[in-house]
Homo-oligomer: A and B are copies of this chain.
Amino acid sequence: MDKKEIQTILEEAMEKGREAIPYGEVASYIPELSKADKNHLGLCIYTKDGRRYSIGDTNVRFTIQSISKIITLAVALESYGFDEVFEKVDVEPSGEAFNSLIDLDLSSNKPLNPMINSGALTVSSMLLPKVTFSEMKLFAKKLCMDPDMELDKDVYNSEKANISRNRAIAYLLESKGIIENDVEDTLDLYTKMCSLTVTAESLANLGLILANDGIDPTTGTRLLKTETVHTIKTIMLTCGMYDSSGEFAVYVGIPTKSGVGGGLVSTVDKEMGIGVFSPALDEKGNCIAGRPLLEHLSKKLRLHIFDRSSKMDIE
């Protein structure tokens, strides 16, 4: 496939995404997020062999939101080991909305997976004795190769002012003995991690490092262990898109994690990272442009986990 063909496919994908935007809405449950411009759309692809494609609003800053869950999980897996983390939180897809309390209260033992709020709060709480937010931010900057990543104080304050549901989840976890460290500190770390700013470019970098099994391809530095990355990618595939994860796996087939700030990070194993920014969300909380945009890329560039025979090689 030559460069022009690839460029054409990316533009078609952008167009597919753009067509979906009118049917979505920016997140409204946090006032500060509702100020986003729903027409923003950015797509960024970084390949392992050094190619970089950027179209649209790839430099606009927005908050990482739930995409931070994979960073938090990665740090916890490396700090505590798999056994200790998965004793506290399961890895089963939930089939439930991301902020549901029902399964948790019924099952009475542990959150279904670390990509829903109850699971991510549990993982955040585990980290309290090990790392500070500053250290987490520093590591996130490295994983996203984004030195300008900062805490968005307006979003942070807005989220803290509308945190009742997460607070309810966290205290329920405390009541079950799952959260053992301070609940308010847990909520603070969790919210701060969600309020870090990224761009579509940062997310493409993150996706690329995951594609490259944890090694920064520009420096050759290993940032995450191989096993951590395999697990993160598997969980992104099975649980990354809330209760659309199964459908996304079938039609797109690329491990992807979404955030209500409008970001998506995708990782094509051994090959590339993809970052998308589009704050218009569907009713599940995923950016509505993401599915048609990535499905087009997946089909045309053959990126689906079970359709990888040919690749985005340039002749």
Contact = CB atoms under 8 A, between A and B. Distances in A.
Contacts of A168: 167-172, 174-175
Interface string A206-237: 00000000000000000000100111011101
Interface in A217-274: 226, 229-231, 233-235, 237-239, 243-247, 249-250, 253, 269-270
Q: Report how many copies the assembly holds.
A: 4
A116 to B, nearest CB: 10
A20 interface: no
Nearest to A304: B230
A1 B49 CA distance: 29
A146 to B, nearest CB: 24
Secondary structure call for the A interface: helix
A249 to B, nearest CB: 5
Size bracket of the A interface: 35 or more
Interface in A269-315: 269-270, 304-309
Nearest to A229: B306
Interface stretch (A36-44, A58-66, A88-96, A190-198): A88-96
A113 B245 CA distance: 12
B245 A238 contact: yes
A164 interface: yes
A9 interface: no
14 contacts: A91-B246, A92-B93, A93-B93, A95-B103, A101-B102, A105-B105, A164-B174, A165-B175, A230-B307, A234-B249, A234-B250, A234-B305, A235-B246, A238-B238
Given A95-B95, A237-B238, 15 more contacts: A86-B247, A92-B93, A92-B245, A93-B245, A93-B246, A94-B95, A101-B101, A101-B102, A101-B105, A102-B105, A167-B171, A168-B171, A230-B304, A238-B245, A269-B306
